[in-house]
Chains A and B, each alone.
Chain A
């Protein structure tokens, strides 16, 4: 994974829970441009542990002077966002991967409808800039509980295409209204809580939308869970995976060579063959098909966990 050591040049609270970070090249070099919806993986040396979390880029895709991300503090998470909120200050240097896009705009679309819930607004911030620049028709619907929690309001341009739906102001998002009456050839993109993605899929199905016109951002942070052990077939070693650690992180800590890219169960790079499994793999990825998941012969170590007697993987 190609990465760059970048300097933090800004860390600003947008809301009580969301902070914006800006990274620039330490010698002022231009960073590679990207497409709206792309993410980077930030490396966080947290004690004796190296965490890597993926964050959507929120800066202008055509602006190579820096990369910006918005991080929501997840107190129940594995610790990456707490590290960013607590420990990272301007002047610090962090290793950041080059951008990768698993949630790109379909540029064939006659119109783009973007639907965001909460922190799910982040990939759309760069997409809105791209759409404005390319002068493509779009509308953005952004649902948040309250104005104080709506970090995206600080980051979005003041244009009529942007609609905020603030529930405690009695202005809840009406998916049926958004999805009905859109012109043929419209593509819909949803990012936010699982419930929102499901609701859009259901509304879309009811209104006769083709599935291929409904996109959602599928990668996610690895969920914490119970600790478990995994045996490595190639070396015969057994490694322990902590409650707040992913299997991928445990493999890296054990210096097992493994390819990765999105670290969110979407890109397929870290797919690993299961040699034997006595128990249940908790598949959290969006990569393996349902059949592949239920066969328990493959696992995505970046997000998936295990519960049971013993798991041996081909690493």
Chain B
């Protein structure tokens, strides 16, 4: 398998685009025609559906190189997007090992890892990186282990310490987030950082989710999909930069909604780390323009019904109330009222 990496941007001229293959493998998040929160966990790992974003443990796609370039731009202007409290360094090494090992095993033509005891040799061909270093010796890497590896892995990463029957947001690399801030959340526990989410607390969702996460064993990662809507293919929709992307919500018109309105899907996965007992929480972001999404008839029908029938407070929380009517009207033309098949995948 060869991947052709797109030359594209996630800001300014927004030249981000999905190839037909990328559209086909997009992780459409709705398995039925309506949506409400649930603890929708399922096992993650090797052996996911062939060709889908679930096939490999850390999916690498045509956006890889451009996304890493975008991360570097964000970090240069705001270094606090990457933070690791002092006790999390061991977890950073665990994460580095996990990602290097998975990438080298799942994409041997792109990544290689040679280990000779604690002397490691890492080759990242798409980014042109070759690094020899001593595992667990931070002086042998150009930056901390978590920062080093997450500058080479798509998606955001939260690294959660586990203690007092709770999870603590004690480290992370967050540059492609749906309007939350690592700098604000750093050091918070599971309930504190979820406090802004409407409805879910009364539903007991967080208690149940936390119980599940605390008991995630090694070797049995889990995943779930989450979603929101974003105007323009922008990775950095952070509170810090709201002044840059918030006003763009007002640029949507019935004429441009198909091109400028994106469905944003997060593939969230959960991994127990061996040496630190921390929980790695990668949040991988996928973006698709509505005009590309509607090329899959099942998705067009279903997204129309979900957006149309969504409770108001969820649309408000996800930040697209202002454009909800335009989006619903646009999608309505692709919904002929026919039933949709179960599951998230496109019909063959």
* A interface residues (Cβ-Cβ under 8 A, vs B): 1-2, 32-35, 37-38, 61-62, 97-101, 104, 106-108, 134, 212, 261-262, 267-269, 271
Contacts and interface: CB of A to CB of B under 8 A. Distances in A.
Contacts of B90: 107, 134
B275 A32 contact: no
Nearest to B211: A268
Contacts, number: 61
B134 interface: no
A2 B272 CA distance: 13
Interface stretch (B11-19, B215-223, B294-302, B318-326): B215-223
Contact of A61 (B87, B219, B272, B275): B275
B163 A104 contact: yes
B205 to A, nearest CB: 15
Interface centre among B86, B162, B163, B215 (most CB of A within 10 A): B215
A100 B218 CA distance: 7
A124 to B, nearest CB: 15
A98 B221 CA distance: 13
Contacts of B328: none
A43 to B, nearest CB: 15
Interface in B174-219: 211, 214-215, 217-219
B87 A107 contact: yes
* Chain B: interface size category: 20 to 34
Nearest to A133: B136
Contact of A262 (B85, B88, B164, B215): B215
Contact of A101 (B211, B220, B277): B277
B52 interface: no
Given A104-B163, A106-B163, A35 B276 contact: yes
A224 B85 CA distance: 44
B239 interface: no
26 contacts: A1-B217, A2-B217, A2-B220, A32-B219, A32-B274, A34-B218, A34-B274, A34-B275, A35-B274, A35-B276, A61-B275, A98-B217, A98-B219, A98-B220, A99-B217, A99-B274, A100-B215, A100-B272, A104-B163, A106-B163, A107-B161, A107-B276, A212-B164, A261-B215, A262-B215, A269-B215
Interface centre among B90, B215, B217 (most CB of A within 10 A): B217
Contacts of B214: 267-268
A32 B215 contact: no
Contact of A100 (B86, B164, B217, B276): B217
Interface string B136-166: 0000000000000000000000000111100
Contacts of A32: 218-219, 274
Contacts of B274: 32-35, 99
Given A34-B274, A34-B275, 11 more contacts: A1-B217, A32-B274, A35-B277, A99-B274, A100-B217, A100-B218, A212-B164, A261-B215, A268-B215, A269-B215, A271-B211
